[in-house]
A and B are shown apart, each in its own frame.
Chain A
Amino acid sequence: MRKPHRLSALASIATIATIDTLVATPLFGQSKPAKKAAAPAAAPGANFSVSPFGIVDRRTSSDFPTPRLEMTLKLEGPDANAVQAARARITKAEDDTGRNLADKPANVAGGEDWRESREGEPPAPAITLSSPTRKAKTLAVEGTLEAYLPSRDPGALVKIEKIMAKKDKPAVAIPALAKEKIKLQVLSKEVGSLFERLFMMVGENDLILKVDDPGKKIFSFGLVGPDGAAMRTYGTTDMESYRILRIFEPIPEGATLEVRLKTAKSFAEIPFKLTEVKLP
């Protein structure tokens, strides 16, 4: 059981909201495929629930910033901690006066961005909706949660041990990466002025990778310290074929780079329906 977060002053919401889908429903072969076909067809059997976590209703009298409602979702259940990243697609959203809140194009109304897990906590995907009327007291949302669970497929996780020893050497030779035609090199900041623009953005502890991934098979990267604990990062910056992993502390010599690959078994889709979600 996760320790309740102080920010989740949504105890009231969580109890009021009716979660129709508490357990993942196998969608493979049943539902239409994801519109943004970045993820392969979903694998069945993921067991976690989706509930509201936090709501911010930004109401403005002017056009800028655009009035909108942002809702963060919480994943709970046996498989929640195995979810590396998640995002939500909204199919229906309205307030209790009947106003349609999903009337924006999908890239505005849905949560197109994948949210990664942090510090051992499941990811908290966010959705953006139109602002409900002032008179509304609750809202209802229906949609599908896409989840990436690399631990469910051994082929989805490629580990490159002692990554720092591979700095400024030829591309890493790993059969699992070669199979996907992925070439990966670790570069140092001192490589030269050729990459001046890139290196101006690089922090002292960051890891610079040159990545050739023609099939776009890489989902994300992670770093694990010699003690097996995940190293804290504050995001990844992509620039052309370079990826900069932002790291808070110096990377130890024995650190391992995890390359997370997109495979059919590593994705799951969970339909969800939240009703009577109390508005702030």
Chain B
Amino acid sequence: MPFRRGALAALSAAFLAHLAPLAVAQNVKVAAGDVEDTRASDAGWGGLSIELKFSGDGVADVKAVRVKLKSAKDDQGTVLYKPEPDEKAKDFEEFSPDRSPKPKVRLKSPARGASSVDVNGELELFVPKKDPNTKQKVEKFQARLDKPISNAALKSAKVDITPLSAAEYKARSAKNKPTKEEIAAEGKKRGASEKEIQQMIQMMDALASLVAGEEPAETSVLFEVKDPDGKILGLEVAEANGNEIHANSRSSSGGNEKKILKLDLTQKAPPDASLLVTLRTSKSVTSIPIAWKEVPLP
């Protein structure tokens, strides 16, 4: 019956459309991939990393991931993950199925005599398809340089983006540079020797002079970004017709609290160019469990 078949098709389509976000999340599986155990006599470095091996139809829709560990131990009982009291959630890392290197779970080194490890936690998947609000477009962003962009979605995500003039970029970059005292304090906190701290200061000076020599070009677009929760997962520039202007390189200094960012585009951004911001929203993130047993150690 054509009518009945048509109605059924329409119903099925509606049903599938309703289920689509769920299907995207459910069609991703993650298993333990290649394992690397770097064992060093200097206890300060080395560790175990386990690559995430993805499968399922929904993988292509995943644009960023974040591992949240709960526990990990080897078969001799060595605890390989212990959350720090003031540990902040890690940032999401960009993802695509063919991207290399692949995301990894990073743990402490297991005992030399151990032969396998168990890992528990969850993997958060950022699937922008699930929420149209992940894409925010700021038109003519260059019209108001050195003033924060006013946008409700950015505000609710506690994100503050200020497009900068070249002069303000240089001034804020200089201000953003850590002082010798800050480097020394950080070094002491990490147990570095006086010699190592002096080397660190010299290195920072050398890096700062390199950055200082890197004047913004005509094709550069400059920003100060405050994103304490790491909600920004993409920042692109597009022409008024929507065509994205590719960035050849991106350089930044600072952290999520405050970052000075320079995008070097392939062409000068026209005055009516838009800024495309990809934001992580609660609807766009889904979780799948990690429950690996007896992952063999190399």
Contacts and interface: CB of A to CB of B under 8 A. Distances in A.
A59 B39 contact: yes
A61 interface: yes
B35 A13 contact: no
A108 B114 CA distance: 28
Contacts of B34: 60-62
A172 to B, nearest CB: 31
Contacts of B115: 134
Given A134-B112, A134-B297, A60 B41 contact: no
A124 B118 CA distance: 38
A56 B39 CA distance: 6
A60 B109 CA distance: 13
Nearest to B202: A248
A280 B40 contact: yes
Contacts of B112: 134, 137, 279-280
Contacts of A56: 38-41, 46
A2 interface: no
Contact of A6 (B39, B40, B196): B196
Interface in B180-197: 192-193, 196
A58 interface: yes
B296 interface: yes
B35 A57 contact: no
Interface residues of B, number: 24
Contact of B113 (A10, A60, A135): A135
B37 interface: yes
Given A6-B193, A67-B298, A61 B39 contact: no
Interface string A33-62: 000000000000000000010111111111
B196 A59 contact: no
A134 B48 CA distance: 14
B43 interface: yes
B227 interface: no
Contact of A58 (B36, B43, B192, B193): B36
Given A9-B43, A10-B41, A135-B113, A60 B196 contact: no
A279 B206 CA distance: 37
Chain A: interface secondary structure? loop
B40 A61 contact: no
Contacts of B206: 248
A107 B39 CA distance: 23
B35 A279 contact: no
A136 B297 CA distance: 14
Interface string B286-298: 0000000000111
Given A10-B41, A280-B112, A60 B46 contact: no
B42 interface: yes
A67 B38 CA distance: 10
A201 interface: no
A8 B40 CA distance: 11
A7 interface: yes
B78 to A, nearest CB: 14
Nearest to B50: A61
A61 B41 contact: no
B113 A54 contact: no
A105 to B, nearest CB: 23
Nearest to A67: B298
A59 to B, nearest CB: 4
Nearest to B109: A280
Nearest to A69: B39
Given A134-B115, A280-B46, A60 B35 contact: yes
B297 A13 contact: no
A118 to B, nearest CB: 12
B39 A57 contact: yes
Contacts of B297: 59, 134
Interface in B11-42: 34-42
Interface string B35-72: 11111111110100000000000000000000000000
Contacts of B41: 9-10, 13, 52, 54-56, 278, 280
Interface in A47-85: 52, 54-62, 65, 67
A116 B113 CA distance: 36
Nearest to B45: A56
Contacts of A55: 39-41
A255 to B, nearest CB: 20
B296 A54 contact: no
A59 B193 contact: no
A189 to B, nearest CB: 16
Contacts of A7: 42, 44
Given A59-B39, A134-B113, A280-B46, 9 more contacts: A6-B193, A54-B41, A56-B46, A57-B37, A57-B39, A61-B36, A62-B34, A134-B115, A280-B39
Interface of B: 34-44, 46, 109, 112-115, 192-193, 196, 206, 296-298
22 contacts: A7-B42, A8-B42, A9-B43, A10-B41, A10-B42, A55-B39, A56-B38, A56-B46, A57-B39, A58-B38, A59-B37, A59-B39, A59-B297, A59-B298, A61-B34, A61-B298, A62-B34, A67-B298, A248-B206, A279-B112, A280-B41, A280-B109
Q: Please list the 7 inter-chain residue pairs (A to B) with the smallest Cβ-Cβ separation, ordered nearest first.
A: A57-B39, A59-B37, A280-B39, A59-B298, A61-B35, A61-B298, A55-B41
